[in-house]
Structure 1
Amino acid sequence: MDMASLLELCENIRHRILEVVSKNGGHLSSTLGAVELIVGMHRVFDCRENPFIYDVSHQAYAHKLITNRWKEFETLRQFGGMSGFIKPSESDFDYFIAGHSSTSISLGVGVAKAFALQKKNAIPVALIGDGSMSAGLVYEALNELGDRKYPMIIILNDNEMSIAKPIGAISKYLSHLIAGPMYQSVKDRIKKLLEKMPDSATYIAKRFEESFKLITPGILFEEMGINYIGPINGHHLDEVIHALNLAKDMRCPVIIHAQTTKGKGYEIAEGRYEKWHGVGPFDLDTGSSKKATNAQSPTDIYSQTLLELANEDEKIVGATAAMPGGTGLGALIDKYPNRFWDVAIAEQHAVTSMAALAKEGFKPFVSIYSTFLQRAYDQIVHDVGIMSLPVRFAIDRAGIVGEDGETHQGLLDISFLRPIPNMVLFAPRDNASLKSAILFASNHSSSPCAFRYPRGKFIINDGIFENKDFIIGKSELLLEGGKILLIGYGNGVGRAYEVYLSLKTSGIEAGLLDLRFLKPLDKDLKKILNSYSYAFVFSDSYKIGGVGSALLEYIADNDIQIKLHSFEVKDSYISHGNTGMVEKSIGLDSSSAVDYIIKNT
């Protein structure tokens, strides 16, 4: 394509993204801001030979549209449709799955190593946002890349904060000069000169090269051994293409610093607005949401309740990892900036730093999505668990999260937290009991503890059952009767209650138990279980190592004669789509559970 055709393509891509995301929901501001960068990547490189590695990959809608998915794009994030992230099983043009941040450079280094061993004349191209640069994995990868000097291109999409402040036209000119043949030639000559010169003369030569770097904003990367181009305007397509061609010819590690605007092309969303990062269906003309938002979410309840407790107790502190809005911690950071912190994309640091605060007598709350807590597992075990420090883990987005799919499902936290000695695990069933759970966590000071709650809303509404305080290791028998016991944990209590109502309509009596605590289990559980012939478990978690597994261990240890079946997620990754449709597809919806219970009791 000529330049005019490429610019027209960029406009068409933006129009298509807005058209579909306004109907389906999805990631918006980041993907609108990356259009010219991705078009430029495809103009300069064939991604079948030179893999494109997208960090997080929610900014890669333009890539999907360019690579034969224009029509299919209308199924974005729908059940059975196109993923909102890069997915190799969806297209041969997608190189590596990505839903968590800060992995692209490490992956790129691995690809570069493979190409070196295979003697392939190809270059991995990574696109990473400035926010992702806050994670330690990035610098581990850059450290090795700068030492090994593998050919690799890293495009830094700077759309929110500057890594280093631009120094105007002179800096821009010199940055291009550094990437060009003259500077590279001078640099090579300096190196050869240094090898031949006596030690007494090398000082002047070194100062000459260093002074050239110091007047550019790329000194951080240059000092790590990564060549730097930029800053460039990431929306000037000819500038993007020029920089990519320069980097391609250099045959070494290069970082291109591109400055872009989030939401580019849709004025309502342009700028640093967190609410436009991920959106539900909205009206294109006004930007207003098409979904009713009157009901309070568990995240809202968590935010309000923790703020109320923090107002009364100055020992309460907390941290989140780049998700202050998503976890509800934003309001606490605003009011108490010296007690609550957004540590950026650094879940490991969030956990370990809060462990130190716990040791100093504070009451730290770590607020992280279930899927992202996986990133800090060693810190939970080593820095919190061994010393039994009272760090409170508030696990948001637990369970099936819907349209984000495999990389974001919150299904593993129970399985990986349960084996940790000293860890207390509990879960509320509704908004009212969530408030009680937060209060319990704030007062629990003898060990670490973790409580989980779902995205959006609980299945069961407040007021159906009386709310009671959490007492460690105590379950709550909500309903009695029949030979069938329905056991719910957390949001699973709502699902168990739906099943109870359906069974009752069919003339089948059942009991309903809110387990409340998974660790420790209720000491009186044996007495409850011995009153029933069948038990059925409901929890938004994996079956392996999950709630049913814990109960089976308890049943075996206590020689209880009861048949137990768990309606937890089987051993597979769960795809994206409407939560109800996803649950039905894997047999976890209420009607499927009722059918199974009737046939097997």
Structure 2
Amino acid sequence: MESNFFNSPQTLPNIANAKEDSINAKSNDFTQFNRVDSTQCNETTHTKSYESTQNITQKLLNSENIAPLLQNATSKELQEIAQIIRDRILQVVSKNGGHLSSTLGAVELIIGMHAVFPCEQNPFIFDVSHQAYAHKLLTGRFKDFESLRQFQGLSGFIAPSESAADYFIAGHSSTSLSLGVGVAKAKILSGKNSQKSGQNEKPIIMIGDGAMSAGLVYEALNEIGERKLPMVIVLNDNEMSIAKPIGAISKILSKSVTSPLYQTFKQKIKKIVDKMPDGTAFIAKRFEESFKLISPGLLFEEFGLDYIGPIDGNNLDEVIKTLKSVKNLHTPVIIHAQTIKGKGYKIAEGKYEKWHGVAPFDIESGKALSSVTLISPTATFSNTLLKMASLDSKIVGVTAAMPSGTGLDKLMDTFPERFFDVAIAEQHAVTSMAAMAREGFKPYIAIYSTFLQRAFDQIVHDVCIMNLPCVFCIDRAGLVGEDGETHQGLLDISYLKALPNIALLAPRSNKMLESMLESSVATKGPLAIRYPRGKFLYDYFLHTYENANIDSLEYQILQYLQNLDSKISNNFNEMFKPEMIIDSKFWENFTHNNIDSKILIVGYGNGVGRGIFTILELQKNHNIKANLLDLKSIKPLDSNALKPYFSSYDFIFVLSDSYKINGVGEALLSLANELDSKKVSKIITFEIKDAFIKHGKTELIEQSLGLDSKTLAKNIANFSCN
């Protein structure tokens, strides 16, 4: 439900876990840990006093929409608000996890934007939007912020479904300027931006320096400059994207930091301009033009935009003064604001990747609250690829601005000459690696499932048509939890399965992932290996029941699985053959009776682990014994191996972390219909429904979709008994 942001200061309805009593009790007791004053770069602590700002701050704490009030607020009031917001962000993110350092650094910029531009008439467009927490807090969501990234709570990104103040959904990088182009054109055509009428509505855009590495930005800049489209672009330059920025663009933006000559010149020009009569400041502009080669403004001014900066993006007075100076322009302008990522929390300041996205942590020490006991699929990929690269000098790795997130950081550290971070440029990553494959190298392209969507045409045109041996290592496949609908990794099977030449594998466990990777050096064509975020459910089962009672079903399954795992080989052809995980032989050994199960669960990837937990539920609560098959490969399907299953089982239930449309179940149904068999099993698929899946803990999302083991067992029992 959308809150009526522009008409009444309401909190969001139906937000789960919004503990208002707790929030009210804590609202005026923001404990300061390792904090830095919001207006100073030096470390300090101070006792806050809100008496002078009681009215506006109380409205903020009461979750009223205070954005319109900021235009008449004093500098002192705005400084107090900045500190309250920064405290609130730190308080909630430390408990819920989320994006911390970028949003702490952007607080003053967002307050300044609201203090100068009414967002009702001037849509605020946040690139990626993980830095926009302050915007949420200012626009009536202070109490509901407690539910950040929680199931049925506030999104960690801009979400129009939450508030009319959230103009356009964001999550993927570098879309903001193209959105701004559309808004600016619409404002002009509707007469809302016209020098003749005096109307001057326009988009206000915030984009990070990391996002400036993507090609989409320059496609938009090309049109912005050509058409002189009215907009204000705030470039939030914290010298860090998710990882350390690379490439020519980052070097251009950093010139203002590293050039003492430019800084000295700029300071002297400012002193001169301050003393000049009105109308003569253009002379200073002429002087600056002669210094363009050392100024980042060169890039943007060549595109046809006015450039201002760099300014101190954490100095509220300077931010507001600069924004006011461009408010009446009818042309595009970019304000280059330098901010400190992690501003106000000294433990996070100056860190590259560690504090970008965080799990719950202790504020005072900065240490994570949860201990990780299982090896993640990402770590397995990282360790395995490094081992492979040590043995084969033809192996190279590429990532799009996420070396640590994808696990390629170890390859980067050990073999930097064979590691390529191409910045936020998935299309370029794929095409450039296609050429390396053409030259005889073995590229491993590590990209999150959600971001691989950006390179679809390159996969088709440059890899699959050429039938090149590029290995796509698809991390975060399936449900990813708290990052929500823009980041769920549910589409890769559906669109990759449609492409000729490519093969699709999904391991059930870390051990199987290691084997698939090691055997993949033998591929003669495109290959995709998808694996989940966090953990394999198969490995989680082994970990959970490693100390189970020796007579229990859990222990017997564990022993059976460990025996199977000991036989995993690195034979590439074996990776495409389905493997029986739990069969009638297992049930006969467990029950000491002849068992002929008529139910087969087919798991793909993490669906295998989910199938194991479901089999436990079926036996314990429904007295039903089901078998389990690990499909391993969805493309190609081994029709000879699968044909006997279609005729020997009454029911086949499919489990996979993918969309039902063009998913695993549809592939099996299609194959079954093609086979010449007198009896064909009834195939029922439990995959993701045709909808975008919102954020929350993965376990809660699965329950809401009916994909938890208890619900699956109940539904399977109902189907098989009717």
TM-score for the superposition, normalised by structure 2: 0.78
Q: Describe the shift of the 1:237–1:511 C-alpha distance in structure 2 as closer, same or farther (beyond 3 A).
A: same
Q: Describe the shift of the 1:297–1:154 C-alpha distance in structure 2 as closer, same or farther (beyond 3 A).
A: same
Deviation at 1:215, TM superposition (A): 6.1
Matched residue SS, 1:53: strand
Cα separation, 2, equivalents of 1:356 and 1:172: 48
Which residue of the partner structure matches residue 198 of structure 1?
none
Which residue of the partner structure matches residue 296 of structure 2?
217
Deviation at 1:250, TM superposition (A): 2.4
Q: Tell which deviates more after alignment, 552-561 or 480-489.
A: 552-561
Which residue of the partner structure matches residue 419 of structure 1?
498
Which of 313, 321, 326 in structure 2 is aligned with 1:247? Answer: 326
Which residue of the partner structure matches residue 510 of structure 1?
626
Which residue of the partner structure matches residue 352 of structure 1?
431
Which residue of the partner structure matches residue 97 of structure 1?
169
Write the deviation string for residues 148-191 of structure 1: whole angstroms up to 9, x where unpaired: 0011111111101551412214225658999998478679xx9x
Which residue of the partner structure matches residue 532 of structure 1?
649
Write the deviation string for residues 451-507 of structure 1: whole angstroms up to 9, x where unpaired: 111000000126724232352531101222300010000111001111112212232
Q: Does 1:549 align with 2:666?
A: yes
Deviation at 1:318, TM superposition (A): 1.0
Which of 492, 495, 499 in structure 1 is aligned with 2:607? Answer: 492
Matched residue SS, 1:283: coil
Q: Structure 2: which amino acid aligns with 1:595?
A: K
Matched residue SS, 1:17: helix
Q: Structure 2: which amino acid aligns with 1:109?
A: V
Deviation at 1:106, TM superposition (A): 0.8
Deviation at 1:511, TM superposition (A): 1.4
Which residue of the partner structure matches residue 238 of structure 2?
159
Deviation at 1:315, TM superposition (A): 0.6
Q: Does 1:408 align with 2:503?
A: no
Cα separation, 1, equivalents of 2:531 and 2:350: 31
Q: Describe the shift of the 1:211–1:566 C-alpha distance in structure 2 as closer, same or farther (beyond 3 A).
A: same
Which of 124, 132, 137 in structure 1 is aligned with 2:216? Answer: 137
Cα separation, 2, equivalents of 1:174 and 1:84: 42
Q: Structure 2: which amino acid aligns with 1:495?
A: R
Q: Describe the shift of the 1:598–1:14 C-alpha distance in structure 2 as closer, same or farther (beyond 3 A).
A: same
Cα separation, 1, equivalents of 2:180 and 2:191: 16
Cα separation, 2, equivalents of 1:106 and 1:291: 40
Cα separation, 1, equivalents of 2:97 and 2:344: 17
CA contact (8 A) 2:477 2:657 kept: yes
Cα separation, 1, equivalents of 2:409 and 2:267: 36
CA contact (8 A) 1:172 1:231 kept: no
**Structure 2: gaps spanning 5 or more residues:** 1-72, 193-199, 241-249, 257-261, 543-557, 585-596
Q: Structure 2: which amino acid aligns with 1:53?
A: I
CA contact (8 A) 1:56 1:99 kept: yes
Which residue of the partner structure matches residue 591 of structure 2?
none
Cα separation, 2, equivalents of 1:588 and 1:138: 39
CA contact (8 A) 1:172 1:232 kept: no
Q: Does 1:67 align with 2:182?
A: no
Write the deviation string for residues 20-59 of structure 1: whole angstroms up to 9, x where unpaired: 0011110000000000000000000011110000000000
Which residue of the partner structure matches residue 203 of structure 1?
none
Matched residue SS, 2:83: helix
Deviation at 1:208, TM superposition (A): 8.0
Which residue of the partner structure matches residue 567 of structure 1?
686
Q: Structure 2: which amino acid aligns with 1:526?
A: K
Write the deviation string for residues 102-133 of structure 1: whole angstroms up to 9, x where unpaired: 00011001100111111103010110000000
Q: Does 1:520 align with 2:636?
A: yes
Cα separation, 2, equivalents of 1:586 and 1:422: 33
Write the deviation string for residues 539-578 of structure 1: whole angstroms up to 9, x where unpaired: 0000001100110110111145110111100100101001
Write the deviation string for residues 195-233 of structure 1: whole angstroms up to 9, x where unpaired: xxxxxxxxxxxx989526456431111111011000000
Matched residue SS, 1:275: coil
Q: Describe the shift of the 1:216–1:479 C-alpha distance in structure 2 as closer, same or farther (beyond 3 A).
A: closer
CA contact (8 A) 2:648 2:681 kept: no
Q: Does 1:398 align with 2:477?
A: yes
Q: Structure 2: which amino acid aligns with 1:508?
A: I
Which residue of the partner structure matches residue 422 of structure 2?
343
Mapping for residues 584-599 of structure 1, pairs under 5 Å: 584-599=703-718
Which residue of the partner structure matches residue 697 of structure 2?
578
Deviation at 1:295, TM superposition (A): 2.3
Which of 161, 170, 189 in structure 1 is aligned with 2:265? Answer: 170
Cα separation, 2, equivalents of 1:184 and 1:418: 61
Matched residue SS, 2:458: helix
Q: Describe the shift of the 1:83–1:208 C-alpha distance in structure 2 as closer, same or farther (beyond 3 A).
A: closer
CA contact (8 A) 2:255 2:294 kept: no
Q: Describe the shift of the 1:397–1:417 C-alpha distance in structure 2 as closer, same or farther (beyond 3 A).
A: same
Matched residue SS, 1:509: coil
Q: Structure 1: which amino acid aligns with 2:605?
A: G
Which residue of the partner structure matches residue 204 of structure 1?
none
Cα separation, 2, equivalents of 1:184 and 1:104: 32
Q: Does 1:36 align with 2:108?
A: yes
Which of 61, 69, 74 in structure 2 is aligned with 1:2? Answer: 74
CA contact (8 A) 1:298 1:453 kept: yes
Cα separation, 2, equivalents of 1:541 and 1:317: 29
Q: What percentage of aligned pairs have identical amino acids?
A: 59
CA contact (8 A) 2:255 2:295 kept: no
Deviation at 1:296, TM superposition (A): 1.2
Cα separation, 1, equivalents of 2:264 and 2:281: 21
Q: Structure 2: which amino acid aligns with 1:473?
A: F
Q: Describe the shift of the 1:79–1:184 C-alpha distance in structure 2 as closer, same or farther (beyond 3 A).
A: farther
Matched residue SS, 1:143: helix
CA contact (8 A) 1:316 1:363 kept: yes
Cα separation, 2, equivalents of 1:76 and 1:303: 31
Which residue of the partner structure matches residue 449 of structure 1?
527
Q: Tell which deviates more after alignment, 248-257 or 366-375.
A: 248-257
CA RMSD across the alignment: 2.0
Deviation at 1:592, TM superposition (A): 1.0
Which residue of the partner structure matches residue 201 of structure 1?
none
Which residue of the partner structure matches residue 299 of structure 1?
378
Deviation at 1:528, TM superposition (A): 2.2
CA contact (8 A) 1:52 1:94 kept: yes
Q: Describe the shift of the 1:531–1:113 C-alpha distance in structure 2 as closer, same or farther (beyond 3 A).
A: same
Cα separation, 2, equivalents of 1:394 and 1:164: 32
**Structure 1: gaps spanning 5 or more residues:** 191-206
Cα separation, 2, equivalents of 1:22 and 1:37: 22
How many residues in Structure 1 have an aligned counterpart in Structure 2? Answer: 582
CA contact (8 A) 2:657 2:688 kept: yes
Q: Does 1:48 align with 2:48?
A: no
Q: Does 1:284 align with 2:363?
A: yes
Q: Does 1:80 align with 2:152?
A: yes
CA contact (8 A) 2:96 2:149 kept: yes
CA contact (8 A) 2:122 2:204 kept: yes
TM-score for the superposition, normalised by structure 1: 0.94
Q: Tell which deviates more after alignment, 246-255 or 262-271.
A: 246-255
